[in-house]
Amino acid sequence: MNYLLAIKSLYVINGFIAVLMYIPQIVALWKNRNDSASVSPITFGGWSLGCVITILYAWFFVGDKIFTAVSAGNLIGSGTVFLLIAKKRFHSKTKESILP
């Protein structure tokens, strides 16, 4: 049974680190107010959708709160990146349509 606890502990640590790894991308998007073209909304939107599905699976089928929490953390990270990309692209399209 100790190996199962070790694997679960590694999963939690890995999940926490994965969530932290979204921060540089979020900061880069936040600081650079004009450019979001280099970041794929399809990728981060797909990851966000995958996280929602994983949360549902973790909560309803596995019944593991840690699995659910790690998946929710990933949703927060990927969802934040996706929303920043969408906001920046929407605002850049709005500016383009206003300009002559």
DSSP class per residue in 43-85: HHHHHHHHHHHHHHIIIIII--HHHHHHHHHHHHHHHHHHHHH
Secondary structure (3-state) at 30: helix
As a whole number of angstroms, the distance between CA 76 and CA 70 comes to: 10
In the chain, where the domains are located = 2-92
Topology of domain 2-92 in CATH is: Monooxygenase (1.20.1280)
Residue pair 54/71 in contact (Cβ under 8 Å)? The answer is yes
pLDDT band at 79 (very low <50, low <70, confident <90, very high): very high
pLDDT at 33 over 70: no
pLDDT digits (tens, 9 = 90+) for 35-53: 667 788 899 999 999 999 9
How many Cβ atoms are within 10 Å of 62's Cβ, its own excluded?
12
Count other Cβ atoms within 10 Å, centred on residue 29. Answer: 20
Q: Tell me, what's the pLDDT at 95?
A: 61
Q: Is the pLDDT of residue 16 over 60?
A: yes
Condensed to tens digits (0 to 9), the pLDDT of residues 80-89 reads: 999 998 888 8
